[in-house]
Amino acid sequence: MLPKMVRSRWSTSSLFNQISTAKDWGLIPSQFFALDKADKVLMMAHTKATGDMQAYEDYRNEQRRRRNNKDGGKAKGLDDG
């Protein structure tokens, strides 16, 4: 069994974020770095916003799952019927 992860505050470097964005868009880093600054900013903002939206959805789904487990499967949107 894996140990439970402790919540913490962390961040990534700007370079890591840029390379991650390039990967998400199917580019190699040199292709990404060759783009205009405006294109890079828009791509990075889109990648960040998409990640934040997915993280929120994951959080909400986990909350619903926990509530569903507590009330015997009667939480809204998670029952089989």
The pLDDT tens digits of the residues spanning 15-72 come to: 999 999 999 999 999 999 999 999 999 999 999 999 999 999 999 999 999 999 987 7
pLDDT-derived band at 76 (thresholds 50, 70, 90) equals low
Q: Is the pLDDT reported for residue 78 higher than 60?
A: no
Reference 25, options 52, 13, 17, 10; nearest CA is 17
19 occurs within a structural domain: no
Angle at 61 between CA 55 and CA 63, to 5 degrees: 105
pTM score, whole prediction: 0.65
Range of the domain at 41: 36-71
47 occurs within a structural domain: yes
Give the pLDDT confidence score for residue 55 in this predicted structure.
93
**How many structural domains is the chain composed of?**
1
15 occurs within a structural domain: no
CA separation for the pair 77, 56 (Å, rounded): 17
Phi and psi angles of residue 62, each rounded to the nearest 5 degrees, phi first: -65, -40
Q: Is the pLDDT reported for residue 81 higher than 50?
A: no
25 occurs within a structural domain: no
